[in-house]
Structure 1
Amino acid sequence: MFKKPLSSLKTSAPLKSSDRRKLKQRVITAYGISSEDGDLLVPDGILSVKFITHLNEPGTAYLAPEGDPLWFTVGKGADGELIPTTYTLWKKGDILPFLSTPSAVIPVLIGGADLMIPGVIHHTPSLNEGQLVAIRQYTRQDGKPTLSPPLAVGRMALPSDRLREGGQEKGKAVIIVHTWKDNLWDMGSKSDMPEGTVLQPRASEDAEGSGDEAEDSDAGAPPVSVVAEDDAIVPPSEEETSTSATSPTPSYTAQEITELLNKSILQVLSTTLASAPLSTFPIPATLFYTNYVLPSRPAFPTLIIPPSSASGSTEASTPDQPLHIDPQEINIKTSTHKSLTAFLKSVEKASLISLKTPQKHSQQTELVVTSVNAKNPSVIRHSPYVTVKDLELKAAKRAAREEKEKESQQGTGEIEIKELWKPHQTSLELFEGMGGNKSTLYTLTEIKSLINEYIASHNLVNAREQAYINLDNLFLSCIVSKSKGKSKGEEPANVPEFMKRDELTKKVVEKMQSWYEVRADGKDLVCKKGSLKPIQVVIKVRQGRKASTLITGFEPFLVLDADEMAEDLRKACAGATSVSPIFGKPANSGMEVLIQGKQGKAVTEYLTAKGIPKKWIEVMDISGKK
């Protein structure tokens, strides 16, 4: 719902004391919380702001005094259902039941996809279709199953008992309405995520005498621990969960973790870095570990190295139920090395990489990887496997495909308009250097993707400020204009050293040639050079004090004919209409449709019914107020 920016965002205004009390009472009643918790979640000084989503749905958001969105409603009317945001759920996580999902699924949800049934690991009991739920990330930290704070809010697409029906592997589990890092969340302070909650194994029911001690041990736990201890939190695909209380869960030893990390090194050297250009290096140690080693961990590690602790366990792998251990367990802290420096030095000792130690009094404080040895016999003998990155990319593609199918099934009837850009003049060299084609027409998304890939492959992210990009000669040759009068080879003044990513993308796009593409049912595709301008609907006074509405600039949109539009609007507006060349413009500049009266709303409804997207209709009233 908030994957795209909100429109018509009004200025926030503080609620009156009486309205704040009403809102607090609605929250207390809807979520069954105490008056004290109501004061926490509906604080004094709370603000309200109205908005419209990209689906053209009106809504209201309620903001904390510091600006964090706490609640929102969607739909007409002030009494719509109050939905908590992730900021609110981070304060009190137990006001909604939850489902958990692997870490690889969370970026897909943030991208706008719904949670599918195969992605559900745990769920609270007796969830009804349409019920609001929170989504948490399930990981293993130091061998312990852990749930993150709520990262998304949605509605159940089906009752929870159907999640456990055998053989059902397709379909949606939760329709997502709001996520961490979406455009609603971005309105707030973007605070750091709180720590997760460790799932404690359920004690056997005959151990009732230790109940008080259990309560005392959890007295300092965050609110989510209360939910995590619920008896019905079970994986939907497992028939027997009591075995986890009587039999230890198989896990890797520190030595086995080290072996898997070594496998990850061999994987990345035989694939991603096998033919990496020299400009890729040097790579700081932390970036090498984060961007290359961790994504190359096996997605199904037990197929690569079976854990020794699985022998004799009731959870050992079987043909019908293969043993799976979360790849997140594979990290430096759980290995024999314990530190990244020790791990990389052992890899260097095996002649797989070359390291450089920072000199004394140097600004560089960490090891850097200066080169890799992809011809090492161990790398050549390595058998590739499915990695964590492979699964994440596959999940992202599947989510994008499902979203595209969903949009096509909805069939809005809108004509398809694409803004395109072509490499031109100073941007030609940059696109060739980024692996692009100087003859290709690119969308803004494709331009961003090329720039991001180039930045990642050349390690241009600023080490001190991650939000900034270091500008190399290729970027500078594109975005820096040469001053007149400078001799050849002389550097222009005030050359920037770094720039924010969005600003850099904007500068590159400004150096490109604008094109546009219009596609409509039953019409030939039109692709032209230049910027496409919105249809102008101008209300002005003509002939004394009579107001008229003039429509111009509609010809590029294919589905509109001047004479037909004039006739249709004459009937719709019950007023006189006329068609003529645009006054004061050269011949063949287009036609102008005139309607008597202030008909901005009627014209907008007519154009949208014809398939013109609202963003391509610009209404201006210059008739003056009466």
Structure 2
Amino acid sequence: MFSRPFRIKSNTAIKGSDRRKLKADISTAFPSLSADELSELVPNKEELNVVKIYAHKGDAVTLYVLHKNPLFFELERRLYPTVYVLWRYPALLPTFRTWPPVLQKMIGGADLMLPGVVVPSAGLPAVKQGDCCAVTVVNNRAPVAVGTAAVSSAEMHSLGMKGRGVCVLHTYMDNLWAFGDKTVPPSLPDAETEEQDINGEECEIDEEEEEGVEKCVEKEQSPSETVVDQACSGVEELTLTEQEKGQRDNEEEEGNQDDQKMPQEIMDALLLQCFLHALKCKVKKSELPLLTSTFLRNHMFSCCPSGKQLDIKKSSYKKLSKFLQAMQQQYNLVRVKELTKGVESIVEVDWKNQELHSFTIPEGSDVGAALVQEGEEGETPYHPPEITTLYSVSARLEPVFLDANKRKGTILQPAEVRKIVTDYVKKNELVDENNKNYVTINPTLCDCLLEKSEYQEVESLKWDDLFSRTLGRMQECYQIVFPGQAPIRRKGHIEPIDISVASRGSNKKVTLIKNLETYGLDPAVVATALQHRVQASSVLQPIPGSKDKVLVQIQGNQIHQVGNLLLDHYQIPRKFIQGLDKAPKGGKKK
């Protein structure tokens, strides 16, 4: 769940009444905790924060954070402990053991499969399906993952230890762990594994077993390579001594200080580069006067090099207006004027300026790359699916299709339907002898295609009318094919991407986008791309009554920008986008 970055909605201090309720909920969920242990986890006088977040799939999650460490997370009204709590109370949950290399896969978003579970001599812990449980690695009792049991202990044995064992929600080294102080697991010796020494062999995984690690986990689609790389270093940290941990922590702190020495200067340089690039290649004289917000959104962001992200708030200027003012004073490149109260525009550009004239466009600059961050490194770029309309043979039309061995429910391409109908007409010699543009209606076609009121009146139909009536009485289906994947066929009409505008408090407008998942689009990626384009906040909300669909909400009427993103960047055909006509009309306000 936390293998990818999440979005923070709010971060507030908990109220006194809510603190008492949280303590009661923890006591109910984990009755093994004593009163003193509860007071340590939820102290009465220390600051405890409630952080509401949206996971990358849109799940609404509540975090309870103490001393910057998330202690519990609440999902669908159920509390789960984080690894920070389990390192203090390792016996809080029933635990399953696995091999260290399996942890690498779980950090990337995989579930723990039963072949990867190490069964102790005492047997598996007694759990029911859905029970909260933890995962440890051999030789260390410190839990490294939290999840729910996919099946009960009895079913695990009856399945022959095959299939999914634990549905993993949170792991050491994921983004929820990184939200805290990033401490490493303590070294808690596992008494049983220390005693095990069968035939003098240590409990290690040999090369053949390493090749079988893939069978021990079930991956999510396209796990990030960088997360797996982090996991590899995380597994090594599990075996470090306390002295080595201290040395590594010191080295990491020094490295982080070096990395943070000049972030503003780096962002200032990137800001200047994008500014000059936009003036030299993007802005036309006919566009002046040009709103400064439009200049940033449509020109500067598109000039940002691939792999980098332009963020004015991380620069020394903090605001676009201050940056443009500096460009006007230092280089005399542009002249900015407030044409409307509170709204600044670029009214003049010095195209002959030496600074602009000497600027060279960086090699390998990809103008379109900065428009949408396609996600983490290792993910494949998006390609639009191929969508085809199909038709299913209905019970009423079955007599016409029986000669072609096509029975009720058979799904056909429109061209196949035309061919079968044409063959049926020719086989039964129904082409009108006097006018071959018409087809004579026999009793079978009469029952299949005509209304009751037409039985006595209609004796023949044109070919086009014959085909359209046939398709009209078939059940419409659609086929969607993503590159490199098997075709997906479903009945009914394909739902278009729906774009609408709604009003919120104080009559503020927000743009809502639905059905992105149908076309293989990640709502979180689309929301991030829109944020970069329009510099407005966005929120992901689960759609009531829909299991896997998420609604993207972004401030303002952004239909024009959403349409450009879907049509130009993602290349979704216009007929599959609904609501583009609601974009605000251009023109000056009176």
TM-score range, shorter chain: 0.3 to 0.5
Q: TM-score of the superposition, structure 2-length normalised?
A: 0.42
Q: TM-score of the superposition, structure 1-length normalised?
A: 0.40
Structure with greater contact order relative to length (CA < 8 Å, sep ≥ 6): 2
